[in-house]
Every structure is written in structure tokens, then in C-alpha cells.
Chains A and B, each alone.
Chain A
Amino acid sequence: MALPKHASPLEKIWHYCYLVICGLIFLFLIAPILIVIPLSFNAEPYFTFTEKMLSFDPTGYSMRWYDLLLTFGMQAPDVARDGSWWSDAWQNSAWIQAAKNSVIIGFFSTILATVLGTLAALGLSRPEMPYRRAIMAILISPMIVPIIIVATGMFFFYSQVGLANTYIGIIMAHATLGIPFVIITVTATLVGFDHSLTRAAANLGATPTTTFFKIIMPLILPGVISGALFAFVTSFDEVVVVLFVADFDQQTIPRQMWNGIREQISPAILSVATILVIVSIALLTTVELLRRRSDRLRGISQS
């Protein structure tokens, strides 16, 4: 958006004002996410920059809140840090337990959502699909319906069929919430999919299964993986359904954070937040690389 040479002074002033405004809005977007990173290294139990931190005094910074993440909930946190200390942490640390649960639930719900969602997206993007619009609307609706309504409905239903307080119940619930993302990303990949490729494969004697795995799958794989990542993030960040459907000892990272924020907010929350921000940066990078690869594969060039 270069300013033309003939711009009047007023236009020039407005142009720079506009750039400053945009800069401030970008700051509004990104600052809250980045601010937690330095604060999580605070040596004091405060949520603000201490004077020592501002003057970059090393004693103002510490890893104590990250350490607390490991030791919180351990049976003997104060003994020497040898093998048994680490196994104690692995077995009993509340945050590690929560992380394990989150990963297990996220992993299986992602698999479920991705497999079912990809199949459905293949069907939905065929031109002869009947009732396409209505079915699509139903499949996307878990993203639109307020989460409290979903959680309430699932609470009653799962208690009745005996799925409440089980991992299977939470996995099914999270898969349902992740499905819209898989459908959206995979159908987006299938837009402009060259169907003459599948016909060519069939013409050369490939069975439908061979065609799927050798021709379709490699082409849509980037979309499938980004859909899977979306589904995983959805599950990994979900707290309301877990609060309603899960058992008390089925803690997940978001639930643990939720409790932490509601009861006694401590900088340990900030260190979890920092770890999660780093995870999301990694995920964002992966998805972006996948998107570019997908565009290249499909011949949509991007300068």
C-alpha cells in the first residue's frame, strides 16, 4: 500500500495515522499473548514486572513456577532429584497427570474426528451427494451451538447411557466438537480437486481402494493433517464439557487451569500458559507450511 507521489499533505498525515492505528491494533492482538512469557519467569508471586525485572537483574527472574508445575501434587517434592524423584513426579504431579489425560483424550478424539470427518468430506464434496446443504449444516453445527448447551445436553445423555465419568464419553464428546474443523479444512482442500486424476487411475485399472490411497490421499493429506491439528487443539483447549461430563479425578490441563484461575491464581498458571503459547506457535507454523504445500500440490501458486 504505497502512498502515491501526488498525495496531498492531508492524505499523507492520514496515511501515517492509519499505519499507527493498525500497529496499535496488532499490538492489542499480540501483546496479551506475549506478555505472559516474561512474567512467568518472575521470582516474586506477582503478576506484574518487578523493578528487578525491569532493570534486567538476574535475581528478579527464576524458574520457580516451572518447578512448581512439577512438584505440585508430588508425595515427596523436597528430596534429592534422582530417579525416584522423577518417577514420583511422573506418577503424582498434578500437572503431569493433567497433561497425560489431555494428550490421551486429545489423541483418540483426533483420530476419531479425522477418520470420520475425512470420509464424510469426501462424500460431501461429490457433486451427486443428496441433501448436501442440510447434512453439512448439521455436521458443522457443533461449532456454532453454544458450548454450555452442548455440555448440558451431554451431561444428561451420558449419565443416562452410562458414559458419564468415562474416558470414552469425553473422547466422543471432544471428537464431536472437532469434527466441524476437519470437515471445513478437508472440503477446502477438495475444492478444485481434479477428478480426472481418479478417472485416469480407474482407467489404468486401479481399484477404488488403490485410487484412494495412491491418488486422493497424498493430495488431500495436508488438509487432513491441518484438520487433525485443529481437532486436537479443540480437544486440548476444551474445558466446559470436561467440567460437566468428566469424573472429578479426570483432570485435564484446561480444567486444571480453570480451577487455578477461579480459586487462587498463581504465576504457575503463567508458566503453563507460556508452554501452551509455544505449543500453539509450533502448531501454527506446521499448519502454515502444510497449507503452502497443499496449494503447491494443487497447482495454486503463491508468490
Chain B
Amino acid sequence: MADATMGAAPTQAQPEQLTTVDGKPLKAALMAAQAKARRRAFLLVLPLLAFVLVTFVAPIGQMLHRSIHNPGFTEHTDLSDGTQTEIMVNLRGWFDANPPGTEPDEAAYEALVSDLVLLRELRAQGAVGTRINYEAPGTRSLFTKTTRRAERLEAPFKEAILDIDEDWADPQLWRVMRDASSAYTLNFYLAAVDLEKNSEGDIVSVNENRAVYILLFQRTLILSLLITALTFILGFPIAHLLATLPLKYSNILMIFVLLPFWTSLLVRTTSWIVLLQSQGVVNDTLVASGLVADESRIQMIYNQTGTIVAMTHILLPFMVLPLYSVMRPINPSYVRAARSLGATSWTAFRRIYFPQTVPGIGAGALLVFILAVGYYITPALVGGSDGQLISNLIAFHMTNSLNWSLAAALAALLLFGVLALYWLYDRLVGIDNLKLG
């Protein structure tokens, strides 16, 4: 740091401005030095920040973009050479010229037919049909069927098309095509919360037997809360025991908490399958001890119970460690003082000890809840059909139904929820206080 001349002589009437040896004002020199130190610190962080932005933030941002952007009805990308072609140009022109709710006329059907002819050349009818099918189920075959005959159709086009299939007159289909004619849409978010637009463009709830997502969000929340509560009930006593035992014993018992923490997730999930399945260790023990008849073995895995048990086990260390680090420094003389003032042991615990552990409970519960909400592996392996969480549905839409925009919209909703909790965690606990063993 620059050397300051602590210059002003006491005899001088006017205090001279403080300067460094090389004549710069001290204030400026200090500012420059501080700015340099800030730059240095930032330069150390910069490589990692850039790396994380590229490998983590950018991919997630791009995925979020996909949840509002789906060009399936506006352009076609040839998979072999990557050329992009504008499609459905005529129909989109008709949509632009006519306000929503206009009855499709002969011009509209003519535009449709000319676009379908182009689709046939590009062999894009399947992709376009799939895009419309996301929002108007059962229409994919309309596109494939009609495109096959599009070239041979003659005016009047409206009758010709309705001749092939009456469903083309469905106002809901035309509403969906109008919405899809712009690549940017919020309809996937509507679908992710079990809403849709009807043929008039009003937002309504979807048919009850298609409403699955709200139910799954609810189940995810309820199961996560339940698992958080269970980890608290199981974690509190052992954290208390660990915190009050002398260090040489608690260090040994700590292994029981840390070993599961270090063991592979898949190993722990496998262990639960082995323990809980109907020919597994727990059921065999119950049968051998005569508690359960051989033919009525309890189904404890591949259902909600399996998810709850395995996830409670896996997330328990995340509850115990923050609790322990808060409980360890609690001074036992407070409780002793309460006892000597006449409190019963229960009152002393309730009024004196417990309030001091609340920060640890908050930290542990938030962490467990955040991790539980987004859990994927364990529910996928042991959840069966009723133990699946929202993450599993995202995976389903990614790999099976291939409705990527809907997967992205569901992921975005989950992500916003988790980030809100993460923000709360940072406010209440501080990320710096995150401890690992």
C-alpha cells in the first residue's frame, strides 16, 4: 500500500491536503489501491464464474426460453442438412389478416391446402401435427392423412378438406393453429398448471381426467413436507445426543451420520429395495416372527411408502448436521439454571433449550425441503406409480412423450419454486454457513 506522509504541521493555519510521497492525494491513492484489490479478488473468481455461466446458467436459460418458444408450426429444420424452411406461410398470413374468432372461410382452407402441399415436399407433416397435437389432442392424424392427399385436392377447398375429415371444422383446432402460428406462446405454462384455452380463447380448466400436473405438484409438496417433518423427528434426538455427549464419543457416533452421507445414492436406494421388497429382509423377518402371514406380505417398496422411507433415510444427514452445529455451542448451564429455579425437565427443555435450536431447525428443514422437492433418482427407482414426483414427470416428457416445451415449462415452475426457497435460505441462514460434515 502507498506510503502516506502524515504531512500537516501543527503550526500551519490551513491544513494542507494529505498526499502520498509521489504527490498524489491520499484519498485518491487509497481508492486506487482498493479498486486494485477488488479487481484482484474478482479476477480470481472470474474463471470459475465464466465456467459456471457457460456450463450451467446458459443451458438453464436456454431451456427456460424453450418453455415459451416452440417453432414447430412456423419453421421446419431438415435433420440431414440443417436447412430451415418457413412453413405454414399462407395460413399464418390469413391469421394475420383476420381477427381471432373469424369463421375459417374458403381463403383460409385454400391457404391451408397450399401449406400442406409444402409440408408434403418437406415431409414435415408429422412434426407439425405433433406440435398441434400438444394442445389439441387427437389431431396429429388429421395432418398426416390430409397432407397425403393435399396435392390432388381441388377447389372448393373447404368442402374438399371437410370431405376428408369433418374434424377440420373444429373451432378449437383453428384456435390452436392460430396460437401456434406465433412461435412465442405461454400455452405450455397453462398446460403445466392444468389450464387451456377454449375455442373462444378464454382460459379454462382442462377436462378432469387430463388434469395431472396440479395433482403432482401437490403430491410433491405434501411428500416433501412429510419427509422434512420425518427427518426432523428422527434428526432432533440424535443431534441432541451427539451435541451433549463428550466429543470422543460423539465423534464415533458421528460416523453413523456421515457414512450414509458419503455412500452412493444408488447404493442406499438399492439397500432399501433389498430391505423392503416383498421377498426382502424386513418382510422375511416379519413372517419368521409370525407377525405377518406368509401370503399377506406387506408391499413397502415401489409405492409411496418406498419413496418416503428411502428419501427420509437419504436426507436425514442434511437435517442432523445443521442441527448439530447449532446445538453443540449451546451452554448447558442455562438449562441447569432453569432447573434450579424450579422448572421441570420438560419445561426447561421447552422454554430454554428448544428456542435456542430454532435456527438449526430452520436451516435443516429448508435444506431438506429444497432437496426433496427436486428429487428424481429415488422416486424413479422405488416410487412405483404413486410415489413419483414432479421431477419424474419432467423426465417423462423429456424422454418418452418428447413434449420438450411442456417439460421445460414444468421445469421452470419447479425451478422458480426452488430458487425462491434458496433465496429464503440465503436470507435466513446464509449460504456461507452451509456445512458438509
Q: Does B432 contact A (CB under 8 A)?
A: yes
Stretch at the interface among B84-92, B189-197, B367-375: B367-375
Does B37 lie within 8 Å of A126, measured CB to CB?
yes
B395 contact set on A, CB distance < 8 A: 148
Given A128-B38, A244-B398, answer yes or no on A236-B274 (Cβ-Cβ < 8 Å).
no
Q: Is the CB of A257 within 8 A of B63?
A: no
Interface residues of B in 331-367 (CB under 8 A from A): 345
Q: B37's closest neighbor in chain A, by CB?
A: A128
User: Are B259 and A30 in touch, CB under 8 angstroms?
Assistant: yes
Instruction: Answer whether residue B244 sits at the interface, using C-beta atoms and an 8 A cutoff.
Output: yes
Residues 400 to 437 of chain B near chain A (Cβ within 8 Å): 404, 407-408, 411, 414-415, 418-419, 422, 426, 431-432, 434-437
A155 vs B376: C-alpha distance in the bound complex, in angstroms?
A: 16
Partner of A150, one of B60, B66, B431: B60
**Does B9 reach chain A (CB closer than 8 Å)?**
no
Interface string of A134-151 (1 = CB under 8 A from B): 011111111011111110
A176-B51, A302-B247 known; A157+B266 contact, CB < 8 A = no
- Distance in angstroms from B317 CB to nearest chain A CB is 8
Can you list, as one digit per residue, whether each of B19-43 has a CB less than 8 Å from chain A (1) or not (0)? 0000000000000001001101111
**Interface size for chain A: under 10, 10 to 19, 20 to 34, or 35 or more residues?**
35 or more
B272 touches A258 (CB 8 A): no
Q: What B residues does A21 contact at CB under 8 A? A: 237
Q: When chains A and B are docked, how far (Å) is the Cα of A287 from the Cα of B374? A: 28
Chain A residues in 8 Å Cβ range of B37:
126, 128
Do A153 and B41 touch across chains, with their CB atoms under 8 A apart? no
Within 8 A of B (CB), among A28-48: 28-33, 35-36, 39, 46-48
* B376 cross-chain contacts in A, Cβ below 8 A: 146-148, 240
1/0 per position for A158-194, CB-CB distance to B under 8 A? 1010000000000011011001010011011000000
Q: Which residue of B lies closest to A233 (CB)?
A: B262
B381 touches A138 (CB 8 A): no
Query: Scoring A residues 14 to 31 as 1 if CB is less than 8 Å from chain B, else 0, what string do you get?
Result: 100011011001101111
Write the B249-278 contact mask toward A (1 if CB under 8 angstroms, else 0).
000010111111011111111111111010
A62 at the binding interface (Cβ < 8 Å): no
Residues in chain A near residue B12, CB distance under 8 A: none
Verify if A133 is at the interface (C-beta below 8 Å from B): yes
Q: Do the beta carbons of B51 and A185 come within 8 Å of each other?
A: no
Q: When the two chains form their complex, are residues A284 and B255 in contact, meaning their CB atoms are under 8 A apart?
A: yes
- Which of B42, B264, B316 has a CB less than 8 Å from the CB of A29? B316
Which of A130, A184, A261 touches B436 (beta carbons < 8 Å)? A184
B171 shortest CB reach to chain A, Å: 34
Nearest residue, chain B, Cβ from A292: B251
Partner of B268, one of A32, A233, A302: A32
- List the B side residues contacting A135 at CB < 8 Å: 45, 49
Tell me the bound Cα distance from A32 to B40 in angstroms. Answer: 49
Complex interface: chain B residues within 8 A of A187 (CB): 432
Contact: B271 with A184, CB < 8 Å?
no
A33 interface neighbour in B45, B51, B60, B259, Cβ under 8 Å: B259
B279 CB-CB contact with A under 8 Å: yes
- Asked if B381 contacts A157 (CB within 8 A), the reply is no
Q: Are B263 and A270 in touch, CB under 8 angstroms?
A: no
Q: B259 and A139: CB pair below 8 A?
A: no
Instruction: Indicate if the CB atoms of B45 and A123 lie closer than 8 Å.
Output: yes
CA distance A257 to B436 in the complex (A): 26
Q: Is the CB of A257 within 8 A of B266?
A: yes
Question: Smallest Cβ distance from A128 to chain B, in angstroms?
Answer: 4
CB distance from B17 to the nearest CB of A (A): 25
Chain B neighbourhood of A140, CB < 8 A: 431, 434
Q: Are A32's CB and B259's CB within 8 A?
A: no
> Does A137 lie within 8 Å of B259, measured CB to CB?
no
**Known interface pairs A22-B238, A142-B56, A145-B374; A47-B274 also in contact (CB < 8 Å):** yes
> Does A35 lie within 8 Å of B274, measured CB to CB?
yes
> B256 near A30 (CB under 8 angstroms)?
yes
Q: Which residues of A are at the interface with B, using a C-beta cutoff of 8 A?
A: 1, 11, 14, 18-19, 21-22, 25-26, 28-33, 35-36, 39, 46-49, 116-117, 119-120, 122-124, 126, 128-130, 133, 135-142, 144-150, 152-158, 160, 172-173, 175-176, 179, 181, 184-185, 187-188, 230, 233, 236-237, 239-240, 244, 254, 257-258, 261-262, 265, 269-270, 273, 276-277, 280-281, 283-284, 287-288, 291, 302-303
Having A26-B256, A32-B313, one finds 14 other A-B pairs with CB under 8 Å, namely A25-B234, A47-B281, A123-B45, A126-B40, A128-B38, A145-B60, A145-B419, A146-B373, A146-B414, A152-B398, A153-B63, A156-B404, A157-B59, A281-B262
Q: Which are the 10 A-B pairs with shortest beta-carbon distances?
A: A146-B374, A123-B44, A153-B59, A157-B59, A32-B271, A120-B48, A123-B45, A153-B63, A1-B244, A126-B41
